[in-house]
Amino acid sequence: MDFALSDDQTLLAEQLEGVMGSLSTLTRVRRHADARAEMFAADLWEGMTRFGIPGLLVPEAYGGLGLDILDAAVVAEVLGRHVVPAPFLGPVVAAPLAIGWGGSGAIKSRLLPRLAGGELRIGLAWSSPAGERNGEAVIERSGRLTGTCPFAIDIAGSEMIVVGSRDGRFHLVDRAAEGLSVTPVTTVDRTRSVAALVLDDVAAEGLALSPSDRLRLDYALQVMLAADLLGSGSRLLESAVEYAKARHQFGRPIGSFQAVQHLCADMAAELEPGRALLWYAAHGLDAGLPDAGESALHAKAYLADAARMASRKAVEVHGGIGITDELGLHYWFKRVTWSGQAFGGAIRTRERVACLHNAAVLPQRGAA
């Protein structure tokens, strides 16, 4: 038994940490966030492409690295640490998995190599894990899609979109398809690209994922969000610790005050077990463990809560400066807010565990 990252994974994390540390600087993030237009961070995507990230989950036969969910989670954690304002969940996770598991041979040959090379980016329009909000959904009829998806991600700079329909199936839609209208949505986290889609009888190519693969895709995305939360939450803790060491009040570093010490200790105590839970959940999806789904949902819910707690306490440790743009702490705070809510908040996610976990418990309508 070896409950740890492999040497390769550790190396991957360290090297990517270096790359992202130099590319996704606070200045760069701020510039991205301040732009009002639809955003695609070409330079950061370029950096990710040089590192091979677009091909992480693309099979080697199609020119990718053919790595595991756990490897992708390691990457997602680093992206969260550096609030990297580049697409990831759509083109690097959802699209390769959905196409790899459900695409025809022709589609795979056509798209996967371009995905792996980073030249093709595919967004994701799929709100079902967060629940159908106020009746908004996409309906498939005779291979064509109609409806709305209020929370489509990684659309900026994408050529295609993976769209989930109300019946749980996935489809490929061309970004330029007739009947598709895209309205960028500014969210609190400006490092993520979100858009609202309206589809009016839009042509689509079906992806034939099995029901269990649809769930695996769902769980893989929850794990990526959990990893992002761990990354940004850990960075918030580190910032708080650094600040508490450096900042002096009353003639001593504020980190020598028990109240500040305990804020930091609580953050660490909450985040640290989330790391092991995340590894277990990601590995469970790779190894096909029977509790993989439960673990993935637990990881998302646990880290949504833990990172939110860290985001609040880190701001408290920083005091006034924490709510300003001065140190940019708020970019991490907002990334945590976004990742915690996207694809279902902690409460809804736990309710999904309850339904999975105990077959004797009927799914209740009355839980969000």
**Residues 257 to 286 in contact with a second copy, rule: CB under 8 A:** 257-259, 262
Among candidates 158, 163, 98, which has minimal Cα distance to 127? 163
Q: Is 364 in the site for a second copy (CB under 8 A)?
A: yes
Q: Is 248 in the site for a second copy (CB under 8 A)?
A: no
Residue pair 254/244 in contact by the 8 Å Cβ criterion: yes
Binding to other proteins, residues 4-33 (CB under 8 A): 4-6
Q: What angle do CA 140, 143, 148 make, to 5 degrees?
A: 35
Cα 281–chain centre separation: 15
Q: Is 250 in the site for other proteins (CB under 8 A)?
A: yes
As beta bridge partners, residue 170 has 164, 207
Q: Is 88 in the site for other proteins (CB under 8 A)?
A: no
Closer to a second copy by CB, 29 or 263: give it: 263
Q: Is 274 in the site for other proteins (CB under 8 A)?
A: yes
Closer to a second copy by CB, 160 or 254: give it: 254
Q: Is 211 in the site for a second copy (CB under 8 A)?
A: no
Closer to other proteins by CB, 61 or 265: give it: 265
Closer to other proteins by CB, 105 or 135: give it: 135
Closer to a second copy by CB, 166 or 262: give it: 262
Count the residues of the shown chain that bind other proteins, applying the rule CB under 8 A.
104
Interface segment toward other proteins; rule CB under 8 A; list 77-85, 91-99, 225-233, 298-306: 298-306
Closer to other proteins by CB, 115 or 306: give it: 306
Q: Is 119 in the site for other proteins (CB under 8 A)?
A: no
Closer to other proteins by CB, 47 or 164: give it: 164
Phi, psi of 335 (to 5 degrees): -60, -40
63: left (phi over 0), alpha (psi -120 to 50) or beta: left
As beta bridge partners, residue 206 has 171
How near is the Cβ of 283 to other proteins at its closest, in Å? 4
How near is the Cβ of 331 to other proteins at its closest, in Å? 9
Binding to other proteins, residues 304-363 (CB under 8 A): 305, 312, 315-316, 319-326, 329-330, 333-334, 337-338, 341-348, 350-351, 353-354, 357-358, 360-362
Closer to a second copy by CB, 30 or 257: give it: 257
Cα dist from 93 to 54, 145, 307, whole Å: 9, 23, 22
Q: Is 358 in the site for a second copy (CB under 8 A)?
A: no
How near is the Cβ of 173 to other proteins at its closest, in Å? 20
Q: CA torsion sign, 247 to 251 to 256 to 258?
A: negative
Residue pair 147/139 in contact by the 8 Å Cβ criterion: yes
How near is the Cβ of 259 to a second copy at its closest, in Å? 5
Q: Report how far residue 246's alpha carbon sits from residue 367's, in angstroms, rounded to the nearest whole number.
A: 45
Q: Report how far residue 124's alpha carbon sits from residue 19's, in angstroms, rounded to the nearest whole number.
A: 26
Q: Report how far residue 5's alpha carbon sits from residue 3's, in angstroms, rounded to the nearest whole number.
A: 7
Q: Which amino acid is at 263?
A: L
Count the residues of the shown chain that bind a second copy, applying the rule CB under 8 A.
6
Q: Report how far residue 211's alpha carbon sits from residue 167's, in angstroms, rounded to the nearest whole number.
A: 11
Q: Is 366 in the site for a second copy (CB under 8 A)?
A: yes
Residue pair 267/313 in contact by the 8 Å Cβ criterion: yes
**Site residues (vs a second copy, CB under 8 A):** 257-259, 262, 364, 366
